[in-house]
């Protein structure tokens, strides 16, 4: 692979890493009380469903934010950049994931049911959106993030399924 393509890949993964970690952590550390408290929306379906828990949200937010702190340490750069960026990327990923579940419930897709594209990219769109006041990477980096995220998401979900953390392989 040409060097600049490799560098683009590295830049993309480095930037979006807090969002990835925030999205993956609830699979391992989540569970317990659902964010919607088990309440139904006016269409009779759950607001978010039992797969979106308070513990998962908090764990994802903390883990993603820790990645931001570590990135600041590694890069030796001012915390005024990496710490808020990590926090916003993590928060955006979790809000995007939550919104994805809200949309899925409105479409009659049960908890754990697949919603292609939405499942793989929704969290990344919101992570970038929330991070944008601090930093929006150049368009090639954003495009790379959109290209690599679905296969990475599917691969990590499959590993989570094989390890027994997830009930569905996607």
Contacts with ligand CTP by CB under 6 A lie at 26-27, 30-31, 49, 51-53, 56-57, 97, 101, 104, 111-113, 166
Q: Which is nearer to ligand CTP, 26 or 68 (CB)?
A: 26
Question: What is each CA distance from 111 to 24, 117, 124, in whole angstroms?
Answer: 17, 16, 20
Cβ 56 to ligand CTP, closest distance in Å? 2
Of the pair 20, 57, the CB lying nearest ligand CTP is at 57
* Look-up of token digits 């926090």: 87
| Contact between residue 93 and residue 124 where contact means Cβ atoms under 8 Å apart | yes
Nearer Cβ to ligand CTP (45/111): 111
Nearer to ligand CTP, 53 or 65 (CB): 53
Q: How far is the CB of 63 from ligand CTP (least distance, A)?
A: 12
Which of 64, 137 has the CB closer to ligand CTP? 64
Give me the least distance between CB of 9 and ligand CTP, in Å please: 25
Residue 132 C-beta: closest distance to ligand CTP, Å: 22
Smallest distance from ligand CTP to CB 165, Å: 8
């Amino acid at each position: 692979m040409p060097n600049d393509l490799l560098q683009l890949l590295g830049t993309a993964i480095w930037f979006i890493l807090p969002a990835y970690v925030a999205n993956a952590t609830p699979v391992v550390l989540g569970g317990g009380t659902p964010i919607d408290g088990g309440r139904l929306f006016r269409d009779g379906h759950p607001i978010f469903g039992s797969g979106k828990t308070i513990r998962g949200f908090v764990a994802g937010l903390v883990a993603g934010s820790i990645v931001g702190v570590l990135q600041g340490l590694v890069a030796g750069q001012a915390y005024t950049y990496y710490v808020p960026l990590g926090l916003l990327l993590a928060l955006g990923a979790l809000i995007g994931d939550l919104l994805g579940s809200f949309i899925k419930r409105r479409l009659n897709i049960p908890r754990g049911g697949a919603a292609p594209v939405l499942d793989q990219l929704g969290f990344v769109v919101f992570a970038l959106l929330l991070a944008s006041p601090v930093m929006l990477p150049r368009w090639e980096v954003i495009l790379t993030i959109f290209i690599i995220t679905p296969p990475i998401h599917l691969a990590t979900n499959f590993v989570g399924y094989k390890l027994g953390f997830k009930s569905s392989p996607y």
